[in-house]
Structure 1
Amino acid sequence: MPSTVIVGGFYGDEGKGKIVSYLAMKDNPVIAVRGGVGPNAGHTIEHEGKKYKVRMLPSAFLNPNTRLLVGPGVVLSLEVLLKEISEFGTQDRSFVDYQCGIIDDSHRTADSQGRLKESIGSTGTGTGPANADRAMRTLKLAKEIDSLALYLDDIPNAVNFALERKEQVIVEGTQGTFLSLWHGTYPYVTSKDVTASGICADVGIGPKSVDEVVIVFKSFVTRVGEGPLKNEISPEQAVAKGWQEVGTVTGRQRRAAEFDFELAKRSIMLNSATQIAITKLDVVYPECAHMQSFSDLSSPAKYFIKTIEDKLKVPVTLIGTGPEVNDTIDRRNQ
């Protein structure tokens, strides 16, 4: 069954949107389906001189042939979802599950004050309180919202039907492994599981329906908000290295650290990863910017990739060398 699950290996912000966009353009999937939490996860994509920030739709929207689905495990911001559908012109190919939960103003208010905001560093988008209401069985669902009538579908059925027909499907995760409610640095985590297993449950596919799990690691580690970060460097050091970044949704400065092999090894285990995608190699090795061939990389960059493969025992099949979708080295058929 030609299904590929894309998940984040660290604390989010690994560049999953770029990888999903590249695979969508390269492999021409019939469906891209998003699991994960909700609009608290933003993916940034650059293509042909334009920059896109996506929070609800799958990052595969650049391929006009790909249907864009959102699984029942995701909570929706109506405003964000409808804005993206309109902005990207995907009205005829965007669908959400009848059972997606709906974020309302009370959830956003609860998420923007008190302990969630001050101690946990929540995004303020309402996703955590909405998921709490879902656990209490009080959350409103998409099938109750008139403005979504044209976009409702049985997403697990659509995805599994495509897989039975051996059509290409991309399953897009959000956040990162160590923000998982079960496997992350609790309590500084998101409001549900975001490992590959959790993402598959969100969209309604079982373990036997998964072909490949691509885990995305950035060439260094970043984290937004509170919580532990091993070997964290100072903001001044991050600026000096060119590693300073801000979150897509929050606009907050991301904290930074060197690539963490032990963390990556655990992430491989938790996700049953079969492939690794490395992003932002050009940030650590500027001489490699925009390259599309592994043979053109500098010796230090090649050594870094080889070290990752040797230590993690999983092949690095995709390497990001710049922000543009096509700034990518594809080693899958080598």
Structure 2
Amino acid sequence: MPGTVIVGGQWGDEAKGKISSYLAVRDEPAVAVRAGLGPGAGHTVVHGGRTLKLRQLPSAVIHPGTRLLLGAGVLVRPDVLLREIEEFGARDRVGVDYRATVIDPGHVSAEAADTVLSERVRSTGSGHGPALAARAMRSARRAEDIPALAPYLADTVREVNDAVDAGDRVHVEGTNGFGLSVLYGTYPYTVGKDSTASTAAADAGLGPTAIDEVVLVFRAYPTRVGAGPFPTEMSEEEAERLGIVEYGTVTGRRRRAGTFDMDQARDAVRVNRPTRIALTFLDQVDASCRALRTGELPEAAAAFVARVEKGLGLPVDLIGTGPGTADVIERWHGQPAGTDSDMATGVGGNR
């Protein structure tokens, strides 16, 4: 049973939440771990007629049999996490690693007061950078220091490794995107930590040999929130013509949109070493493939997928065609395989 890491290949907004939720329904993992940064990264899941906007819990929350963990590498904002636990009825399924760093109100205030972060980088204002700095200086509080989190404290490293050793499926859900990595992205216009598959696994406490599958998610027309280079950016008017008018899940800011950047995607492939490529929002390329789940792609959509495959030298195995969890065409080495027709879907903006 594989350990699977799901990460983004661009600047976030790639529909990692959609792909993670699809794989959770398909694979029924025993454990799903949220990795990556913290509550400044929102994942949207559209399932069973509901739109779930998640900032702390893994997208596998839609699968009732999955244990939901926050890894030691994740920043935790207690009020956000506790609100999500109640909203999504996950009280009996959540574990928070006792070592996870807590975002305090002072970290949020410090970020707002830092003109480099608030004005130049245009960060989300979630307190990530100051919390990471406090952890580096060994002054940050950890989850074990917060009484309200006591019912949920766990040794998630032991849990995920026990699951791997037992042959159970483990999913690790990264946040942000490769282009926002503080190491490999468009520094200084990045988040405060690395956002690659290797770091996601480390956030969950898993060594490299525990990971059998890396799913790297790209979207057909990438988007970006905040400042920073965007070589293929299009005008707002062109984005509107294509129907790409979106707003950040956390910030509410309008997302900048651009065309697929093959050079940037190759860089993401080089560092993340994916075993599977997911390509989402294909219905923005060709509206006639919207919500398609099996069969052949329309000509324009098929040509776009072929171009991405040729440019990356890898097959596209998962194709997002609409907002719902089940709006995916799954292929293996380029061959249509269909999907589970019993999976529920809904409407929304995530593809």
Q: Structure 2 length normalisation: TM-score?
A: 0.93
Matches within 5 A, 1:109-188: 109-113=109-113, 114-188=115-189
Match of 1:235 in 2: 236
Contact 1:4 1:210 in 2 (8 A): yes
Deviations 1:199-236 (CA, angstroms, capped at 9, x unpaired) = 11111111111101000000111110000001211111
Q: What amino acid is the match of 1:40?
A: G
3-state SS of paired residue (1:220): coil
Q: Cα offset for 1:331? A: 1.5
Deviations 1:78-132 (CA, angstroms, capped at 9, x unpaired) = 0110001111111111011010011111111112232211111110111111011
Match of 1:203 in 2: 204
Q: What amino acid is the match of 1:93?
A: R
Runs of 4+ aligned structure 1 residues displaced above 4 Å come to none
Q: Cα offset for 1:294? A: 4.0
3-state SS of paired residue (2:307): helix
- Count of residues in correspondence between the two structures: 333
Deviations 1:53-79 (CA, angstroms, capped at 9, x unpaired) = 000000110000000001001110101
Match of 1:323 in 2: 323
Matches within 5 A, 1:251-266: 251-266=252-267
Q: Cα offset for 1:312? A: 0.9
Match of 2:345 in 1: none
Match of 1:99 in 2: 99
Q: Structure 1 length normalisation: TM-score?
A: 0.98
Match of 1:3 in 2: 3
Match of 1:287 in 2: 288
Matches within 5 A, 1:295-310: 295=296, 297-310=297-310
Alignment partners' CA distance in 1, 2:269 and 2:235: 28
Match of 2:347 in 1: none
Alignment partners' CA distance in 2, 1:46 and 1:328: 13
Alignment partners' CA distance in 2, 1:314 and 1:273: 9
5+ long unaligned stretches in structure 1: none
State which drifts further: 302-311 or 127-136.
Answer: 302-311
Root-mean-square deviation (Å): 1.0
Q: Cα offset for 1:2? A: 1.1
Q: What amino acid is the match of 1:102?
A: V
3-state SS of paired residue (2:222): strand
5+ long unaligned stretches in structure 2: 338-351
Alignment partners' CA distance in 2, 1:3 and 1:331: 20
Alignment partners' CA distance in 1, 2:295 and 2:281: 14
Contact 1:274 1:315 in 2 (8 A): no
Aligned-pair identity (%) = 50
Q: What amino acid is the match of 1:298?
A: P
Match of 2:218 in 1: 217
